Amino acid sequence: MGADENAIRTPLVINGQERYSEDTFEVYDPASHGRLVGLASAATASEAAEAVSAAHAAWPAWSALPASDRIKSVLAALDPLDSDADERTETLVRENGKVRFECGIDLQVFVGRFHQAAEFATTMDEPERLSGPPFNTTVSHVPYGVVTIIIPFNWPLAILAASLPYALMAGNTVVVKPPPTAPLSVVRTLQHVAAALPPGVLDVVTGRDAEIGPPLIEDPRVRKVCFTGSVNGGRHVMRMAATHLVDVTLELGGNDPAIVLEDAELDEAAFGRLSMGAFLTTGQVCMAMKRLYVPRRRFDEVVDGLRSALAATRVGPGLSEGVTMGPLNTSRQRDLVAALREEAKAGGAREIELGSFVDGIDPAEGNYLLPSLVLNPPRDARIVTEEQFGPALPIMSYDDEEDAIAQANDTWSGLCSSVWSSDDEHGAAVASRLRTGVTFYNNHNAPAVDERAPFGGFNQSGTGRELGREGLLEFCQTHVVSVPSA
């Protein structure tokens, strides 16, 4: 494997101290196989346990602070992030694969979500009072203690900020496990934040799942685990957490449906939102549109509109001029998406590849795929029933709205969905029948998320909620004190 002269190395952060482990693991650029981006410290199980110990020791003093003091400290810890934002953005492009613009947004959302969390956390010290008779009762929300947060590669900083500021401002101490394929920018960001907080309040450990997973989840001092990732990963985390009945919040995958209704007004802007809904971050977003249902009468119109919207897609390295879509993060995922597309074609579907590769690249040198539309695959095709998590959108025609709703709900998942209509009342009625945690209207994917509202899924798409007031309460336990009234 070739080395990169710009390769960086990241430490662990334990009890306020940065530590470079003897063992490391390599992080490679998905745009060019063999190009080393950096070396991340590989924590041992004992080092992960040290991080838990540090967080446990820091918790009493941190949780005893007034919420207003915690909020002030956490927001002040963001101040150093402007100093090297460009460098961290470029690092994220090189380890993640997505384009520079998306990586810049990732860093911005990280900061924005801290400020949004602060608005909800200001009421932490205001208990609810229930006056008697027969009791005078106080209902308070108190922090759990040590929280482990495990995040994925695709939008690592934005996803981290859906939980980290809420956990800290609620009075918990936190150990963060960054994603193994894209840990570098996350660690660089959290080095700044942790350095501005009391030692142990925020700890960061990178490493191999089998080595550090058990101490970060099964240690009885860990009282809450927040995991974002695959359904199988969520099952594994839940089994481990059951050892000590640790509470979990799981934000897992989705096979998210979108339904275009007969009355939808689809102009160029709408087709732009449809394409963004499916192909943002090369389709590697849990809340992305994974299945599109279209009235048969309008099928060709929708396909043509998406063809036009995607025609200018330029696939290549995320740092290259003119690139609008980067590679997939891993070759394994690229191969899976390619296989799903081939299976659908073998079952009778028609595939339309769109866009082009930028000049000067060999697609075989990176994890590249062109975006594609897969037209009317069989209902039982894996590209319909599974989460493809890549740049391929199956589009199915329907004759009856009831059947479209039934197909949309016929899934193991329940994260997000969308309804496209020009009749707000009709659209809302259909939206109310979709069994997902979030339903968007005339939009889909991350740009459509209301940061003030809770986010999470039904069914196997997860448990618990992030963001909003509910997201704050996910990091609290309810404490009731009842005193007999006079």
Tens-digit pLDDT profile for residues 35-92: 999 999 999 999 999 999 999 999 999 999 999 999 999 999 999 999 999 999 999 9
CB-CB contact of 246 with 225 (8 Å): yes
Domain locations in the chain as residue ranges: 8-252+462-482, 256-450
pLDDT digits (tens, 9 = 90+) for 144-196: 999 999 999 999 999 999 999 999 999 999 999 999 999 999 999 999 999 99
Q: d(Cα 301, Cα 408) in Å, to the nearest integer?
A: 21
Question: 256-450 sits in which CATH class?
Answer: alpha beta
Across 243-288, the runs of DSSP E, i.e. the strands, are: 247-251, 256-260
Q: Both ends of the chain: CA-CA distance in Å? A: 77
pLDDT digits 0-9 by tens, 187-240: 999 999 999 999 999 999 999 999 999 999 999 999 999 999 999 999 999 999
CA-closest candidate to residue 450, choices 433, 434, 438, 465: 438
Residue 163 contacts residue 248 (beta carbons within 8 Å): no
Q: Is the pLDDT of residue 34 over 90?
A: no
Is the pLDDT at 2 greater than 50, yes or no? no
Residues 8/38, Cβ–Cβ less than 8 Å: yes
Give the pLDDT band (50/70/90) at residue 6.
Answer: low
Q: What is the percent of the chain where pLDDT is above 70? A: 99
Contact 255, 387 (CB under 8 A): yes
Residue among 254, 288, 262, 255 nearest 430 (CA): 262
Q: What share of the chain has pLDDT > 90, as a percent? A: 97
Q: In DSSP terms, which residues pair with 398 in a beta bridge?
A: 295
What local confidence, expressed as pLDDT, does residue 115 receive? Answer: 98
Site of tokens 């740092």: 319
Range 8-252+462-482: architecture per CATH: 3-Layer(aba) Sandwich (3.40)
pLDDT confidence of 7, banded at 50, 70, 90? confident
**How confident is the model at residue 1, as a pLDDT?**
40
Q: What is the helix (H) or strand (E) element at residue 246, kind and residue range?
A: none
| Catalytic residue annotation | 251, 286
pLDDT tens for 253-298 read 999 999 999 999 999 999 999 999 999 999 999 999 999 999 999 9
For the residues of 91-147, what is the DSSP string, one character each? HHHHHH-S-HHHHHHHHHHHHHHHHHHHHHHTTTT--EEE--SSEEEEEEEEE-SEE
Q: What local confidence, expressed as pLDDT, does residue 132 receive?
A: 86
Q: What is the pLDDT of residues 344-382, one digit of tens each?
A: 999 999 999 999 999 999 999 999 999 999 999 999 999
Report the Cα 140 to chain-centroid distance in Å.
30
Residue 400 has pLDDT above 90, yes or no: yes
Are 213 and 42 contacting, i.e. CB atoms less than 8 angstroms apart?
A: no
CATH fold match for the domains 8-252+462-482 and 256-450: no
Short-list 16, 63, 337, 325, CA closest to 193: 16
* Structural element, H or E, at residue 299: helix 299-310
* CA count, 13 A, side-chain hemisphere, 485: 10
Between vectors from CA 258 to CA 253 and to CA 261, what angle results, nearest 5°?
165
